[in-house]
Structure 1
Amino acid sequence: MRIIEDPRSYALVMVILASFLTPFVASSINVALPSLGSELGMGPFMLSWVPTVYLLAVAVLLIPMGRLADIYGRKKIFQFGIILFTVSSVFAGFSISPEMLLFFRVIQGIGGAMIFSNVSAIIFSVFPPVDRGYALGWSATGTYFGLFFGPTLGGFLTQYFGWRSIFYFNVPLGVLCAYATGRIGFEWREAEGEKFDLRGVFLMAISLVFVLVGFSSILSIYGFSLFVVGMFLLYFFYRYECGCDSPLFDFDLFKNRTFTWNGFTTFISYFAGYPVVFLLSLYLQYFHGLDPWMTGIILSIQAFLIALASPVAGKFSDNKSPRIIAAVGLFIIILAMVIFSFSGFLYWIILGLVFMGVGFAFFSIPNSKLVMGAVEKRFLGVASATLVTFRVLGQLIGMALIVLLVDVYLVGGSVAVGPFRALMTVSFILFILLLLVGLVLTLKAR
């Protein structure tokens, strides 16, 4: 039973479960929205806030939670996040009003930020360099199995047990994850004794909320005004942090080319990759006549292959140059984008999704290893949180751009073959160009 006593075994169980839980909830709740809205009397506008408030809370609090973990202990913050996420899931399942549900979705987001900001940092704290890629691969497997099973298992639970069962499903997994965390008998707090910058937290939170909410409706005066104010506040946050003795985020990290260039490539990959599912979902249903269930199965190919290939990619990044492995992964993603931009045939789309799945696995694991390996131990929590922030911001801004392009190409909301193919072609060519920039940055960042 030696492996059970090894803290690395508990750490691996912990990160796999935590990595599964949060994306599972995020993806499964979308399937339950119609049922949820019918029972709680929520219209489309209020329903859109069910996933949005969670994402906003996560995006805004990732870096503060990473810094908090560096100072007070990564295991402590991670475990509290798991407990908070699990308890809020129970109360969300008991919700009797829209306001109650949205409140506990925000609490879930706070717990999610505590979890996400520490997964990579804990892996780098527990595992030696030769095993970190392997552990990151299993963490990614948990994440993408969560995304894979979210729509399918979430739909099954909603149909046969009601939407509340999605939240209750998290509880035993959360308890098991909290137990595994408690079995790790030591702590990491390399920045112990340093001050926690509350003013910086407030400034960054307000800035990001204004920027993200404003960018989502930037074509309106209201949205543009919020965006401009948010950018001004972000600049003020930067100036404040540069003069702070114990900053929330040390901007000197961006002087490290490996950290900055690979982090920006992370942003590019998620900016380009996240909207693909949205575009293909509409294309398959409107122009190939597929029903939502079959569309979901086809689109899940990508997540399923990432889940399967991630441990292999992690092992490769431990034994070979992570920079080269990440570049190969990006090249495969670019090939997928080329297929999507020039062919609308179903079998070619499936082939493109296969390429996307394998490519993302072989890019994201070594990329994470490069970013996390570029910083001192006392910044691991902040670096881990920053890496996830790059991903979340890439997803949010990538989708916001697609919304703008939809307004341009699909005038009046009509979905015709010609304009929609033009929308897809322009989007994918733009993604290809950005990914080529990311490929160059990955190869040059050393």
Structure 2
Amino acid sequence: MNKRQALLVASMCYIIFFSVLNGTMFNVALPELSQEFSLTPSGVSWVVVVYALIFAIGSVTYGKLADIYPIKRLIVIGLLLFSAGSLIGFFSEDYWMVIVARIIQGSGSAAIPALAMVASARYFPIEQRGYVMGFVASTVAFGFGIGPLLGGGIAQIFDWRVLFIVSVGSLLALPVLIKALPHEETQGGSFDVLGAILFGLGVAAFLLGVNTNVWFLVIGVLFFVLFTLHIRVKDQPFIQINLFQNKKFGLLLLFALCIYFSHMATFFVLPLVLADVNKLGPGWIGLVFFPGAMIAALLGTRAGRLSDRYGSHVILRWAAIMMAMGFLTISSLISVSVIWISVTLIFIFLGFSSIQASLASHIASTLDPKETGVGLGLYNLTAFMGGTLGPTLVSAFLELNTTRWNPLHPGGFASYSNGMLLLSLISFSSLCILAVSNRRMSYVPAAE
């Protein structure tokens, strides 16, 4: 890796850190927002929901734009939007201004992970991609670990508005990115605006259906049907129809859905377990999660190196096994010891970080080079949807109050044990999906 590539990796990780912080810090500030603007829980939740909607749609849109326009131009636009939304939020006096700020933030922040993945696939040879994505995975793990602690401290010492101004620090990387990113010419082709709108509305309706009203799911299906009909007749559609015919790509997206479903559901189930079973407060719950997040951050680059050495499919397999066994262990020991839960989380977080370091490169290897941007954008969207579905569906499962399923569990709090067992089964299922995908033919990139 030369000096220019090293600068590019460092600057990408820097802005990814701010993107992750922005997504994790605000959760701890929701009570302050609710109190200041006299909001109900459903009302204040829109601070998170609108950001999530825009971020999900934007991840695919920026990926598609990267197939046409230079990444350098798109990342400048994204960072400027991200910072503009942050400034609006910092000076907001009314709740509607906060919502507008989060919409603008999301439209800019979505560019960061989407374009970072495309840049990793486009500007680095295949034998270095795992190493690069290892740095990205470590940064994400560190951001997840430090975000709630940093956000809580800032909101408590200063004011929730200061959380917005933190994200403006991402602009410091802009001169380095402009210097490190290679010069590119605009590619031939046009952007399918109608296709993007139909796809975006379908995604938005689906996410609203999962989080609010089931009738939005019906509306989402309608928009996706219209989108499918549109791309069949459009000369240069938002997403090429043959991308959906790439079976290995589809199977890897399903693998990602299972992994992100399981991992993000952990952040919902375990705080409930630690509060209800172990009687821990918020601060102690954060400390239970902290070691796993930090160790995953420290070892993420190592996982990337191993991916380059032994192949991403090997790392994906063993990382999924680590996650599945970790969930099974917690299911069995859920009422035994907080220390064992914290230790087991190290393996779950390390497995997830290793998958993050390997999966994007593995997916990119199945795509035609002209479809890398939108393909990785769909991967980002799938990961996001898995992270949304996990907590929502597992929360519904816990309300069923099921009896004990795991014979290794000593008894008591069976619903929590069964919830973790369900996550273990989903993770084991992802191994079957991965095995099938490895038998499928893939696209071979024309040039590395």
TM-score for the superposition, normalised by structure 1: 0.91
Deviation at 1:79, TM superposition (A): 2.0
Q: Does 1:433 align with 2:425?
A: yes
Q: Quick one: structure 1 residues 185 and 147, their matched pair in 2 at CA, closer, same or farther if it must change by over 3 Å? A: closer
Which runs of structure 2 are paired with 1:271-290 in the superposition (5 Å)? 271-290=261-280
1:36 aligns to what SS in structure 2?
Answer: helix
**2:174 aligned partner:** 178
**2:105 aligned partner:** 108
The counterpart of 1:211, out of the listed 206, 214, 220, is: 206
The counterpart of 1:365, out of the listed 345, 348, 357, is: 357
Normalized per residue, which structure has more helix? 1
Which runs of structure 2 are paired with 1:26-175 in the superposition (5 Å)? 26-172=23-169, 174-175=170-171
CA-to-aligned-CA distance 1:7-30 (integer Å, 9 cap, x gap): 212211221012111111111111
Aligned-residue sequence identity (percent) comes to 25
Letter paired with 1:158: A
Deviation at 1:420, TM superposition (A): 8.4
Letter paired with 2:49: T
What is the CA–CA distance in structure 2 between the aligned matches of 1:334 and 1:189, rounded to whole Å? Answer: 45
**1:241 aligned partner:** 231
2:165 aligns to what SS in structure 1?
Answer: helix
Deviation at 1:196, TM superposition (A): 0.5
Deviation at 1:86, TM superposition (A): 1.4
The counterpart of 2:326, out of the listed 333, 336, 354, is: 336
Deviation at 1:243, TM superposition (A): 2.3
Asked whether the equivalents of residues 133 and 356 of structure 2 are also in contact (C-alpha less than 8 Å), the reply is: no
1:196 aligns to what SS in structure 2?
Answer: coil
Asked whether the equivalents of residues 208 and 216 of structure 2 are also in contact (C-alpha less than 8 Å), the reply is: yes
The counterpart of 2:376, out of the listed 384, 387, 392, is: 384
What is the CA–CA distance in structure 1 between the aligned matches of 2:226 and 2:418, rounded to whole Å? Answer: 35
Deviation at 1:78, TM superposition (A): 1.7
Asked whether the equivalents of residues 302 and 354 of structure 1 are also in contact (C-alpha less than 8 Å), the reply is: yes
RMSD of Structure 2 on Structure 1 (CA): 2.0
What is the CA–CA distance in structure 2 between the aligned matches of 1:238 and 1:98, rounded to whole Å? Answer: 37
What is the CA–CA distance in structure 1 between the aligned matches of 2:245 and 2:393, rounded to whole Å? Answer: 29
CA-to-aligned-CA distance 1:346-402 (integer Å, 9 cap, x gap): 122112201101211222222221101211222221122111111100011112202
Asked whether the equivalents of residues 49 and 102 of structure 1 are also in contact (C-alpha less than 8 Å), the reply is: yes
Give 5+ residue unaligned stretches, structure 1: 218-222, 411-417
2:429 aligns to what SS in structure 1?
Answer: helix
Asked whether the equivalents of residues 288 and 342 of structure 2 are also in contact (C-alpha less than 8 Å), the reply is: yes
Letter paired with 1:381: G
**1:415 aligned partner:** none
CA-to-aligned-CA distance 1:305-338 (integer Å, 9 cap, x gap): 2211210000001111210111000000011110
1:167 aligns to what SS in structure 2?
Answer: helix
CA-to-aligned-CA distance 1:195-249 (integer Å, 9 cap, x gap): 11111111111111111111224xxxxx232212211221221222122211111
**2:19 aligned partner:** 22
What is the CA–CA distance in structure 2 between the aligned matches of 1:372 and 1:185, rounded to whole Å? Answer: 19
Letter paired with 1:443: A
Asked whether the equivalents of residues 70 and 382 of structure 1 are also in contact (C-alpha less than 8 Å), the reply is: yes
What is the CA–CA distance in structure 1 between the aligned matches of 2:425 and 2:200, rounded to whole Å? Answer: 31
What is the CA–CA distance in structure 2 between the aligned matches of 1:93 and 1:42, rounded to whole Å? Answer: 19
Q: Does 1:296 align with 2:286?
A: yes
**1:398 aligned partner:** 390
What is the CA–CA distance in structure 1 between the aligned matches of 2:378 and 2:185, rounded to whole Å? Answer: 18
Asked whether the equivalents of residues 119 and 384 of structure 1 are also in contact (C-alpha less than 8 Å), the reply is: no
Q: Does 1:187 align with 2:183?
A: yes
1:374 aligns to what SS in structure 2?
Answer: coil
